[in-house]
Amino acid sequence: MSSGNSIESVLHETRSFPPSAEFSAQANIKSQEEYQQMWQRAKDDPAGFWGDMAENLDWFKKYDSVLEGDMPETKWFSGGKLNASYQCLDRHLDSWRKNKAAIIWEGEPGDVRVLRYQDLYREVCKFANVLKSLGVETGDRVTLYMPMIPELAIAMLACARIGAPHSIIFGGFSSEAIADRNNDAQAKVVVTADGGWRRGKVVPLKANVDGSLDKSPSVQKVVVVRRTGCDVDMVPDRDYWWHDLAEKASPDCDPVELDSEHPLYILYTSGSTGKPKGVLHTTAGYMLGTTMTSKWVFDLKEDDTYWCTADIGWVTGHSYIVYGPLSNGATTLMYEGAPNWPDEGRFWEIVEKYQVNIFYTAPTAIRAFIKWGDDWPAKSDLSSLRLLGTVGEPISPDAWMWYHKTIGQERCPIVDTWWQTETGGIMLSPLPGVTATKPGSCTTPLPGVVPDIVTEEGESLGDNQGGLLVMKQPWPHMLRTLYGDHDRFLDVYFSKIDGCYFAGDGARRDEDGCYWIMGRVDDVINVAGHRLSTMEVESALGAHSAVAEAAVVGFPHEIKGEGICCFVTLKTADGTDELKKELIAHVRTQIGAIATPDQIRFAAAVPKTRSGKIMRRLLRDIAAGKESVGDTTTLEDYSVLASLRAEDG
Which chain residues interact with ligand PRX by CB under 6 A? 269, 315-316, 391-394, 416-421, 442, 503-505, 517, 520, 526, 531
Burial of 341 (0-12, 13-18, 19+ CB in 10 A): middle
Shortest Å distance, C-beta 467 to ligand PRX: 15
Q: How far apart are CA 72 and CA 500, in angstroms?
A: 8
Least gap, CB of 191 to ligand PRX (angstroms): 22
First to last CA, the chain: 26
Q: How far is the CB of 442 from ligand PRX (least distance, A)?
A: 5
In 3D, which of 467, 598, 623, 627 has the Cα closest to residue 527?
598
Which one, 363 or 377, has the nearer CB to ligand PRX? 363
Smallest distance, ligand PRX to C-beta of residue 268, A:
11
Tell me if 481 sits within 8 A of 475, measured CB to CB: no
b/e map 352-369, b = 16+ CB within 10 Å? bebebbbbbbbbbbbbbb
In angstroms, rounded to a whole number, what is the distance separating the alpha carbons of residues 593 and 585? 9
Nearer to ligand PRX, 359 or 419 (CB): 419
Compare residues 329 and 363 and give the one whose CB is closer to ligand PRX: 363
Helices (H), 163-251: 175-185, 205-213, 242-248
Residue 174 CB, shortest distance to ligand PRX, in Å, is 18
| Cβ-based nearer residue to ligand PRX, 249 or 442 | 442
CB of 195: closest distance to ligand PRX in angstroms?
25
Closest distance between ligand PRX and the C-beta of residue 533, in Å?
Answer: 11
- Using CA of residue 466, residue 469, residue 472, residue 475, what is the dihedral sign? positive
Question: Virtual CA dihedral for 447, 452, 458, 461, nearest 10 degrees?
Answer: -160
Instruction: Return the CA Rg of the chain.
Output: 24
In the complex, least distance from residue 645 CB atom to ligand PRX, rounded to whole angstroms: 29
Q: Closer CB to ligand PRX, residue 476 or residue 607?
A: 476
The minimum distance between CB 390 and ligand PRX, in angstroms, equals 6
Q: What is the smallest separation between the CB atom of 91 and ligand PRX, expressed in angstroms?
A: 26
How many Å apart are CA 268 and CA 146, to the nearest integer? 15
Rounded to a whole number of angstroms, the minimum distance from the CB of residue 2 to ligand PRX is 17
Q: In what order do the strands lie in the sheet with 331-335?
A: 112-116, 101-106, 331-335, 305-308, 358-361, 387-391, 414-417
Choice between 392 and 476, CB closer to ligand PRX: 392
C-alpha dist (Å) from residue 281 to 181, 287, 319, 476: 16, 10, 11, 10
Cβ atoms within 10 A of the Cβ of 74, count? 16
Please, are residues 114 and 100 in contact by the beta-carbon 8 Å criterion? no
Residue 514 or 568: which CB sits closer to ligand PRX? 514
Burial label, 94 (beta-carbon count in 10 A; 0-12, 13-18, 19+): exposed
Nearer to ligand PRX, 421 or 473 (CB): 421
Q: Which is closer to ligand PRX, CB of 216 or CB of 417?
A: 417
Q: How far apart are CA 489 and CA 278, in angstroms?
A: 10
* Closest CA relative to residue 320, chosen from 285, 295, 345: 295
The residue among 579 and 595 lying less far from ligand PRX, judged by its C-beta, is 595
Nearer to ligand PRX, 294 or 316 (CB): 316
Q: Which is nearer to ligand PRX, 35 or 170 (CB)?
A: 170
- Mention every residue, 6+ apart, whose C-beta is less than 8 A from residue 103: 113, 114, 115, 120, 150, 153, 331, 332, 333, 334
Min separation Cβ 404 and ligand PRX, Å:
15
Q: Shortest gap between Cβ of 34 and ligand PRX (angstroms)?
A: 23
CB atoms within 10 A of CB 593: 14
We find the least distance from the C-beta atom of residue 418 to ligand PRX, in angstroms, to be 4
With CB atoms as reference, the residue minimizing the distance to ligand PRX is 421
CB burial class (10 A; 0-12, 13-18, 19+) of residue 11? Answer: middle
Report the interhelical angle of 175-185 vs 577-590 (nearest 10°): 30
Contact between 595 and 172 under an 8 Å Cβ cutoff? The reply is no
Give the SS3 label for residue 354: helix
Distance CA(554)–CA(135), nearest Å, equals 44
Which of 269, 327 has the CB closer to ligand PRX?
269
C-beta closer to ligand PRX: residue 519 or 542: 519
List the beta strands (DSSP E) in 344-408.
358-361, 387-391
